Amino acid sequence: MEEWFSRTVQCIGSDRYARIRKADVLVAGLGGVGSWAAEMLCRAGIEKMTIIDGDVIHPSNRNRQIHALASSEGQPKSFVMEKRLKDINPEINLTVINEFIRDERMIEILNSHQYDYIIDAIDTLSPKVFLIYHSLRMNYPVVSSMGSGGKFDPLMIRVNDISETYGCHLARMIRKKLHRLGVKEGFKAVWSPEKVDRSRIIETTGERNKASVVGTVPWIPAAFGIICAYVAIKDIAGISPDEIFS
C-alpha cells in the first residue's frame, strides 16, 4: 500500500522529509491563519507539534477557518484541530493547549520543548509581541503572520524580515512595541502592503475582546497560513530560496 506521505517524499526527497518528520513546531493561534498553517504542517509530515488556542468556533469563522463547520460550532478550536490532525496522521505527537496564553505562561510553554520553529498566528497584539520577543530571546526561529483582515489580493502577500514591512497596520504596531524592547529585526513576517478600505472595518464594543471586526475573504487568511507553513518547512528541511529540486 502506498504510504500517505509518499507524494511529499517524491517531491522533496527522503533526506529533507526525514528532517521534517523529526521537527518539533509550535503553532500559536488556530484561527483563519493558524488553522491552515497547522494542517499544512501535519500534511507535510511534521510528527511533533504544539497547538495553542483558547477560543471556540463561532458561526462567522466558517468563511475562512479550516476546522470551522456547522457541526463544530461552539467547540474549542484546539480540540477540533487535534481531532482533525490525528485523522490526517494518527501517529502525530500533539501537545494541545486550550488556553489564551500570555505572560509567564507563555515563557513556561516555550521552555517546555526544544522547538525547531515557532509559527505565530495570534491576532491580539500584546500576546503576539510577547511570544515573538521571548521566542527570539530563546533563539527560536519565528515566522509571524501580520494583518490579513480586509485584504483581497493573495498575489500581494510577501515574506520579509519584520524590518522590511510597510503599509500594514499590525506590522507597524509590532515593530513599534518590539523597538521598545530592543528588537528591530530577526524574524520573518508574512504580510501584504495592500491597502485596507476603512469601510471593511466595523468598530465594536468588544466582541471577543476585539475593538473592531474586519471583513475577510476565505483565501487571504488561508494563503497567509499556507505561506507560514511553507516558510517553516523550507527552513527546517534546509531548502534554499532559489533551489530547484533535483
- Quick check: helix, strand or coil at residue 209? coil
Domain boundary assignment for the chain: 7-237
208 pLDDT band, cuts 50/70/90, is low
CB atoms within 10 A of CB 156: 15
Residues 54-70 pLDDT 10s: 999 999 999 999 999 99
Task: Let me know: does 29 contact 184? Beta carbons within 8 Å.
Answer: no
Q: Left if phi > 0, otherwise alpha if psi is -120 to 50, otherwise beta: which for 104?
A: alpha
Average pLDDT over residues 117-141: 97
pLDDT in the model for residue 211 = 62
Chain centre distance of CA 104: 21
CATH architecture group of domain 7-237: 3-Layer(aba) Sandwich (3.40)
Instruction: Give dist(CA 34, CA 24) in Å, integer.
Output: 16
pLDDT in the model for residue 203 = 65
pLDDT above 90: percentage of residues in the chain: 85
